[in-house]
Each structure stands twice: as C-alpha cells, then as structure tokens.
Amino acid sequence: MAQKWTIEIESITNAETAWQECKKICNHKHYIEPSQLEVMDMPRDARPFGESLKKCLMHMSTLTCRVQNGTRMCTGLVQRVRKSKVNTSNRSDCPDPNCSVSRTHEIRILTVTSVSSIIKPRSRDQHIQLLIEDFNCHYHFSGIKSEGEEESVRSEWCELIFITHDIDNTNTLPAAVTDFEESQRSLYEEFQRENYPKKIISIIGYPHGPKKMVSFGEIISREPEGNIRGDLEWCVYRYDAPTCPGFSGATLLIPGQPLAGYGYWFGHPHCHYAYDDNTWLGRSSIGCDHRSRTSLSEPWAFSLSAYYKYILIVGIAIVSMWVYSSY
Ligand SMILES: [Zn+2]
Ligand SMILES: [Zn+2]
C-alpha cells in the first residue's frame, strides 16, 4: 500500500473538539504529562536507564515550546540562546521593528528547531509566535536561518530565529539549554558504558495544542538519505511512538544517538515530521547522524551480556556445590 504522510500541524481554533474527534484517539491514553512522569510509566526496555532518561526529558520539556503561525500550531525546541547588543541610538538597527528603546540595549536571540511546514505556504500576513511556558514573554520572529542552505536535503526541518527584549524573564534560559545538553551527554555515555539496545525513542509534543505530553516508542527503521562527510550522513527514522496533530516539529530524543546532532556546525537533530495514514507509524524529518555509532541492529549486545551473566551464575552455583560437597 502506498504511503501517505500526514503532517501533524493542528488548528488552534478547535482544540476541544479536535481532542474528542481525533481519529487517533486511542493514542491519548499513552500520553504522560512531563511533570507526572515516573520510570514505571516508561516502556520496560527503557526502565534500566529510566532515571537518566527522566532527568533528560525534564530538561527537554523546559525547552519544548509551541510555534504558532496564525491559527496553525506545532511543536518546537529552543536549541540555542545567545545575547546580543544593539549598539545604536537608531531604533531601526534593532531586529525588532516594534523596538521602542532609543539607546544601546541588549536582546536575546533564540534558535528554535521545528518543521518548515509551519511557515509554508509563505504569506505576507503570516504571524509567527513562540510560546515557552516557563519563559512567558514577547518573542519577535526574526527569520528562518538554515532552510534551503543544504541544497541536497529536503527542507522539512527548519531553524526559526526569535528575539526578545525581556532579558530578566529569560535569564535562566541559557542554563536550561546547558542542563539539557549535559543530561543528554551523560545519558549517551551511560548507553556506551552499559551497551543498552538503541531502539527506544521519546518525543515531547503538544497533542491538539494545549498541553505538552511525553510519548514513548521504538524505532522501526532508520533510512539513509545521503552522505555528509566522514562518518556523518543524512537519514530519517520511522517509529511507533504515539503522536497526534500538534506533534510535528517535536525533537526526537534518541538516547543512544551521539548528542542528537547538537554541537555540530549544522546542529541538526531529528524532529517528528508526519505519520503514515495506513500504518500510523511516525516519520522524522531528515536529520544528521553517525553512520557507525547509531547502529540499531545489535540485539545481540544485550543478549550477549545476559549470556555472560548466566554463565557466571551457573559457574558460581557449580563451584559452591563442589565446595559444599567436598566437606
Ligand atoms: Zn489525538
Ligand atoms: Zn530593541
């Protein structure tokens, strides 16, 4: 059967009815509010690293935001935050055309990753808004940074740039980004140390708009889409994590993936793009990945360590019996 991908952007005009009339209503019972998340709520295979995953998801939740264009909304992630000085008395030099400060002042520049479908089709009267629950202030949409830079890559993914003059209310935002990256790094190191199977993914999105929710699933496949350089390649993921309209643009947290693309010049993590109408499997936007270190075909890794544990236990039992019987 031919695949028909449906992008999960929601209309904010009917949040209530959209929830009740959702054709994937059976997904709703699998969503968990990030603040309520416990290790026991996670899939069984995720529980061995559940505490680290929970910590990482808490930090990711802080940075998960709503991106709204007119009456359409989807999910985004604040990926970078930096400060800049508007060094002029001329207001028109500030990237915010509504700026009312007529002296040298500071602004904060936010890079938000999402799906480019939220800004398409382009229209003159588009009104793009950013809503970050814990950092509630006015953000001015200043442009799209990376879309179309890579000619060989489909432009499903985008970086949206927002600026704010509200330095006080966003004071702890840079630390929130650092906390997320550090928790992600230690989760990845734990994966390397313990050799966990790399098939679990989790996503935090806004199903139908109002509240962010965590969703868990397994990676079904990973499809290469072209070389970048060295060990890096473009690829897309398919997975069975429940999603609903509003989830497009939500970053995929793949615990075994080296830093999910953060820290590279293209800074290109995978985010949820669409779902297949026939199978309901999700598909990520195109993103970058390490070819060798993100191999999914290693169920033997877990069974091998279980095998060694089994041999050890049996060995100890035989030695104990031999020692006991020799008395
Ligand atoms: Zn739904
Ligand atoms: Zn200004």
Exposure b/e, 54-66, CB count within 10 A at least 16 = b: bbbbbbbbbbbbb
Quote the CA–CA distance of 166 and 266 in Å, as a whole number.
28
Q: How far is the CA of 99 from the centre of ligand 2 (A)?
A: 4
Q: Measured between alpha carbons, how far is residue 53 from residues 107, 122, 172, 175, 295 in Å?
A: 33, 38, 22, 19, 20
Question: What's the chain's length in residues?
Answer: 327
The Cα–Cα gap between 96 and 165 comes to 9
CA–centroid distance, 21 to ligand 1, in Å, is 8
Per-residue pLDDT, 146: 58
Give the pLDDT score at 103: 86
Per-residue pLDDT of the chain (327 residues; tens, 9 = 90+): 677 899 999 998 887 799 999 999 999 999 999 999 999 999 999 999 999 999 999 999 999 999 999 999 999 999 999 999 998 766 568 888 888 888 899 999 999 999 988 987 776 678 999 999 999 999 999 988 755 555 445 668 888 999 999 999 999 999 999 999 889 888 988 988 888 887 999 999 999 999 999 999 999 999 988 888 887 888 899 999 999 999 999 999 988 777 544 444 455 678 999 999 999 999 999 888 877 655 554 433 333 344 445 566 667 777 777 777 766
| Separation of CA 183 and ligand 2 centre (Å) | 34
Give the number of whichever ligand sits closest to the CA of residue 164.
Answer: 2
Could you tell me if 249 and 115 are in contact, meaning their C-beta atoms sit under 8 angstroms apart? yes
Distance (Å) from CA 201 to ligand 1 centroid: 19
The 8-class DSSP code of residue 133 comes to: T
Instruction: Tell me how far the alpha carbon of residue 268 lies from the centroid of ligand 2, in angstroms.
Output: 29
For residue 107, the ligand closest to its alpha carbon is: 2
Q: Which residues surround ligand 2, an ion (CB under 5 A)?
A: 94, 99, 101
Place of tokens 């313990």: 194
Pairwise CA distance, residues 101 & 121, whole Å: 33
Per DSSP, which regions of the chain are E strands?
5-7, 10-11, 64-69, 72-86, 105-115, 128-131, 140-144, 157-164, 200-205, 213-229, 232-239, 252-253, 272-276, 282-284, 287-290
